[in-house]
Amino acid sequence: MRSIGDLVEVGGADRRRRLSGLAALALAALVPWVLWGLLSAPVNNDCDGACAADGDREAALAAWQHFWSDLAERGETALHPAAADPSLRAAGDTAFMRYRNLWGSIDRDAREAFQNAALSSDPDAKVRLLHPWTMAADKHVRFRARLEIARIHLRRRDLAAAEAMAREALAVADLVPAIVADAYFVLGAVAFEARDLDRAEEALARAVAADPGFWDARQMHLAVLAEQLGQPRQGTAPCLNRTREMIEHLGALPALAEDRTQYRDLADRFALASPVDNPALALLAGLGYLWSGDLGRARDALTRAEGARGPLPGPCADQIRDQARAYRATLE
Amino acid sequence: MTALGTLFALSLWILVLGWAARPSVAGHPSTPILSAFTWCAVAAPLAASPFWLARLNEWQTAEAVTLAGPETAYLCLWALVLRPLLVQRFDGAQLVASVSQALVAAAAVGLAVDIGDLVFPYWSPSGSPGWVEMAAFALLIGILFVGGLALAQQIDATGGSWDYPAWFAGFLVISHPAASWSSALALNQGDGLWVLSAFYALAAAIHVWQGSAPFGHPPRQGSA
């Protein structure tokens, strides 16, 4: 004869049986979809996320090693941007300020409208003056009017309007890359202001790629990358790429400004602003001091980079520490 | 591991649950073979899931693991400690039961993410799912939740399943950065409160449907 406990157990088993049956039927309904997904999947689907991550890591490592061998071979001049256009000036956050010859062929009315807008101290009046030119026939005028309005919105911290107008500027076709860089710069500044670091990093990288002579874009990209390198939970590939790009900016900024004291300013910035144990920022400070000629501080910063155990993923931190060790050895 | 692993794990779940649903087996709930197969069904998605394997690979290569931190699922952690606090009892048996349910929940979440990644990219090449796809995501997660709950009940025959919804919701919330489609459902919003509430509500509804007290153990009585 069964005990009450056994009867309760059988009742519980019956309830579990009903749930198991229901679950089995519901799961069976998924099988056709899974089969369809399998048949529709690319042939090489046996890698999934792990292979993509491995590929990114290997590519980043290859770029990292190539970068350091180039630097060892050519010194810091390897980081100086090639100045193909003799009209390039370091200062100026629009291409028309940086490249004087871009604006030369603009007709007189448009030129006066932009000058009047520049002289006005009222942002609304500036926008009113510029707005008719956003639909001008000349693509350069059209682009610059949209870009200037985007910059006015950015200064007023109207980020949505600034982004919308910068995107309208990007919609203008057939522009030289140096001009397009300006619109990406506004997008990057908007994203940085909104604390969207990923979008800021991407937009500013595009700005620098479009115009390597863009000092302001490099400067802001450097700031964004430094913040990104302080974030926890980043992958090895982004960590290596960000560190490399920061060192590229460190080498390019003083060259663009024709002012070697910027090495020291930047080194101070990362040495003082990174009390946290971040090997990437310490390496950057060390290289800045090294290239500015301050060997004592360079040694200290590189020693700090060697011992740092900061927030970076292990393989990335190891690579950085190896470079710091190699540079410090040259100072002994 | 190929996506075939996902199909294998899903098939194993269907077989085990289908077997457990047979009346002859239900009359003898502690069948050792069924118990062994149930554990195999739990182990299969953990061992073969591309989602969990990718996380394991990240961990082995000292890469940052693409999971949100446990702090993002702190409400789920609170739910896990709530019952021991309320009943003022925490012993080894409860710990083992909770860990078992955690393994089942991890397997169910891994299977849900793998199936989602396998099926949904082809529904929405643009990567911006519409409401039909979002409803399908929710249905998929719900089905895997119920499947996992059924397996958890097979493993813990005493019927205690307070911890399973909390584990399931917690794993879903921390898997958010690695499961691209889960952002459509904003599973990590509100500190995971709505996800946690939804799974407890679903589990309570299932217990009521089963005719047992929600999350309660069946009364133990002495032999007649």
pLDDT tens figures, A41-65 = 654 444 555 566 677 788 889 999 9
pLDDT computed for residue A6 by the predictor? 47
Asked if residue B122 has pLDDT above 60, the reply is: no
Per-residue pLDDT band for B224 (boundaries 50, 70, 90) equals very low
Q: Is the ipTM beyond the 0.85 threshold?
A: no
Phi, psi of B211 (to 5 degrees): 85, 25
Both structure tokens of A182: 């300006």
- Candidates B53, B57, B61: best to mutate against A (most CBs of A within 10 A) is B61
With contacts defined as CB-CB under 8 Å, which chain A residues touch B54?
Answer: 48-50, 53
Put simply, the answer to whether A26 touches B157 (Cβ < 8 Å) is no
pLDDT band of B1, cuts 50, 70, 90: very low
pLDDT tens profile A173-185: 888 887 889 999 9
Instruction: Give the pLDDT of residue A50.
Output: 57
- Encode B131-151: b = buried (16+ Cβ within 10 Å), e = exposed: eebeebbeebbebbbbbbbbb
Q: How confident is the model at residue B41 (pLDDT cuts 50, 70, 90)?
A: confident
* Residue A143 predicted with pLDDT over 80: yes
Lowest mean pLDDT, pick from A96-105, A239-248, A249-258, B86-95: A96-105
Give residue B191's pLDDT: 66
Quote the minimal CA–CA distance from A57 to chain B in Å: 10
Nearest-neighbour CA in chain B from A23: distance (Å): 5
Q: How far apart are CA A246 and CA A259, in angstroms?
A: 18
Tell me what the pLDDT averaged over chain B comes to. Answer: 76
Residues A37, B122: C-beta atoms closer than 8 Å: yes
Q: Residue A186: is its pLDDT beyond 90?
A: yes
Q: What is the pTM of this model?
A: 0.61
* Residue A247: per-residue pLDDT: 93
Residue A1 C-beta-side C-alpha neighbours within 13 Å: 4
Separation of CA A267 from chain center: 20
Burial class (CB in 10 A: 0-12, 13-18, 19+), B208: exposed
* Gap between the Cα atoms of A3 and A9, Å rounded: 10
Q: What is the DSSP string of B15-48?
A: HHHHHHTSHHHHTSTT-HHHHHHHHHHHHHHHHH
The verdict on a CB contact (< 8 Å) between B14 and A236 is no
Chain A CA closest to residue B178: A49
Q: Of A10, A27, A234, which is closest to B147 when you measure between CB atoms?
A: A27
Q: pLDDT of B156-205, one tens digit each?
A: 766 556 788 888 888 888 887 776 666 666 666 666 677 777 778 778 78
Tell me the β-bridge partners of A99: A88
